[in-house]
Amino acid sequence: MPNNVFLVGPMGAGKSTIGRLLAAELKVPFYDSDRAIEERTGADIPWIFDVEGEAGFRDRESAVLAELAEEPGAVIATGGGIVLRPANGEVMKQAGRVCYLTASVEHLVERTAKDKKRPLLQVDNPRQKIVDLLNERDPLYRELADWVVNTDRRSPKTVAREIADRVRD
């Protein structure tokens, strides 16, 4: 596989889970940009948000993306806000193909409801926050994507196989 495959989309769409399965299917390495940030800093994402704010986190995210994009032929799951900086989109487009994993608001709320490690959802109305984030980011995801794949009520293995078939074509 000459290029990387970048998975973009909202929190809870399945980027990490599907990314691991996709990498196994394609027999290539898998990287999760959020995990890479945590490994490099020795701190979890909520702590980075608390101490450095969202801007500090986004700086770290861009640096890690640039590093991971240098990998030859990997699957890379990105954080939901990676598309907020146009330069990140350019990095991904130059280093491979981009797959936007979509899901309904109901599905995203269900998948993220009990997760306390998502700083942007630690608000009074997480459902409304998801709606607001989607309204802002969906056009950015779509503009960047080579493929759009819906994950609602689909097994991660099925979605990974579908993306692998597209990569191979």
Ordered mean pLDDT values, 10 residues apiece, the chain (169 residues): 86 95 97 95 90 93 96 94 96 96 92 71 81 95 97 95 94
Residue 51 dihedral angles phi and psi, to the nearest 5°: -85, -45
Domain of 139: which CATH number?
Answer: 3.40.50.300
The domain of 10 spans 4-168
Q: How many domains does the chain have?
A: 1
Q: What is the pLDDT of residue 2?
A: 47
Q: What is the pTM of this model?
A: 0.93
Q: What is the pLDDT of residue 119?
A: 64
Q: What is the pLDDT of residue 116?
A: 67
Q: What is the pLDDT of residue 1?
A: 41
DSSP string, 76-90: EE--TTGGGSHHHHH
